[in-house]
Amino acid sequence: MTNSSLIDLASAALLLSGVFIASYNDLARQGSLLRLQGLALAAIAFLMAFEHNSLELWIVGLLVLVVRAIVLPGLVKSAAKRIPTEKDRSHSRVSNTTSLLISGASTIVAYLATIPLSHLDSSSTTKASSIGLALVLIGVQILITKRMAVGQIVGFLVLDNGIAAFGFLATLGVPLLLELGGSLDLLFAILIMGALTDRMIVKFGTTDVDELSELGDR
């Protein structure tokens, strides 16, 4: 297989895992899929580093591997264990079918939105950058449709993976400095959200974000 078709394969894995995360409700499984997504992302980075023989990209790939494939999914999985199971509630506001439909629509929107970009650079990877945007939109979808706090965190992670994927596919990754800072911010953000989730369990006994509607204008 050529390098570029491997990249295409990894991108497909990214998108598919995103779609599955959106339609699954089981946190542990979402964690695994998230890990798969991180691996795919790291794979893209490594493939590109190999192709362009760039040390910076190798480091970025390593960073992605550690943060997005190991640490963050690990956090989600450990959170999944701590959270009291609430079987009676559906974890999502929409059914699986609807979720798949929305994901499909998101992909089309993303494809349409990135057409102008492919005018600028017609290489196959740039064309694949629409997958990054699609993943971002799927992330937004997860963010909105999941009821549980951790579900929203997962959505946020998918969204961020999408942005990273967009960066790799379109422009050989963002500069190291930005990636470093971005990963650090992401890590902190997830840690804080995790800590807040823990507090939610203590204070409310649930992590259903629909319960969080005391503040507001009525």
Partner 1 sequence: MSQLLISVALLAPVVASLLSFSLKKAKVTETISIITSLILLAISILGMTSILDPGRVVFDGLLRLDRLAQIMLLVIGSVSTLAGWASISYLDSMELSHKFSTNPQAPPPNRRTYWALFNIFSFAMVLAVLSNNLGITWVAIEATTIATTFLVGFKRTPLSLEAAWKYAMICSFGIAIALLGVSIVYFAATHSGLSGSQALQINVLTTHYRLLDHSAMRLAVGLMILGFGAKAGLVPFHSWLPDAHSQAPAPISALMSGVLISVAFSVILRVVAISNLVLGSSYAHTYLAVMGLASMAVASLLLINQRDYKRMLAQSSIEQIGFVAVAASFGTQLAIAALLLHVVVHGIGKSLAFISVGRVESGFHTTEISKVKGLLKNSPSVGFGLIVALSVLVGLPPFGLFWSETAVITSASRTHFVLIAAGAIVFILISSVALVRSVLKMTLGPGDLNSAIAVSRGFSPIAVAGFMASILLGILASPTNGLLMSAAHSIAGLR
Partner 2 sequence: MSNQAPLAVGTGMTPRSDDRLWYLTSSVLTVLIGVFGVAISLRMIFGSKISLSISSLLPLVGLHLSSDGLSGLFDLITSIVAITAGIYVYPYLAHSRSPRTTAAFIPLFVMTMLLVPMASSYYDFLFFWEAMALVSAVLVLANHTKTEALKAGMWYIFMSQVGFAMILGSLAYLSAHSPTGLLIGGSGALKGIPTLTKNIIFVFSFFGFASKSGQLPLHSWLPKAHPEAPTPVSALMSAAMVNLGIYGIIRVDIKGLGPAPIWWGVLIITIGATTAVYSALHSLVSSDIKRLLAWSTGENMGIVICALGTFEVLKSAHNLNIAQVALAGAILQLMGHSLFKSLGFISAGSVIASAGTRSLDSMGGIIHRNPISAVGFSIAALGATGLPLGAGFVGEWLLLQSLIHTLPTRSTVLNVLMPSAVGLLALTFGLAVAAMTKAFGVGMLSRPRSRGAAESAETPPWEAFTISIATLLCIGFSFNPAFVSKIVRSASQATLGVRTKGSVSILSHITLRGVGGSISPLNLGLSVVIGAILFASITEWRIRKKSRQLDVPLWACGSSQPSSKMQYNAVAFAQPLERIFNLVVATQESLGTEHADSDMLILQSASYERSNSDIFETRFFPVVARAMSNLSRLVQKGHSGKIRNYLIYGAIGFIIVLVVAR
Backbone angles phi, psi at 87, to 5 degrees: -70, -30
Among 71, 140, 176, 189, binds partner 2 (CB under 8 A): 140
CB 38 within 8 A of CB 72: yes
- Which of the 8 DSSP states describes residue 158? H
Among partner 2, partner 1, none, the one that 163 touches (CB under a kind-dependent 5 to 8 A) is partner 1
Q: Residue written as tokens 């295409």?
A: 8
Q: Closest CB to partner 2 among 203 and 218?
A: 218
Query: Binding of partner 1 at residue 181 (CB under 8 A)?
Result: yes
Query: Binding of partner 2 at residue 119 (CB under 8 A)?
Result: no
Query: Binding of partner 2 at residue 192 (CB under 8 A)?
Result: no
Sign of CA dihedral 4, 166, 191, 58: positive
Whole-angstrom distance, CA of residue 53 vs CA of residue 211: 51
DSSP string, 162-185: HHHHHHHHHHS---HHHHHHHHHH
CB 161 within 8 A of CB 37: yes
Query: Binding of partner 2 at residue 6 (CB under 8 A)?
Result: no
Q: Which pair of tokens denotes residue 28?
A: 């542990």
Q: How far is the CB of 51 from partner 2 (least distance, A)?
A: 30
Query: Binding of partner 2 at residue 71 (CB under 8 A)?
Result: no
Q: Residue written as tokens 């997005």?
A: 68
Q: Which residues bind partner 2 (CB under 8 A)?
A: 93, 109, 112-113, 115-116, 133, 140, 143-144, 209-210, 212-218
Q: Which residues bind partner 1 (CB under 8 A)?
A: 113, 116-117, 119-121, 133, 136, 140, 143, 149, 152, 156, 159-160, 163, 166-167, 170-172, 174-175, 177-178, 181-182, 184-185, 188-189, 192-193, 196, 199-200, 203-204, 209, 212, 214-217
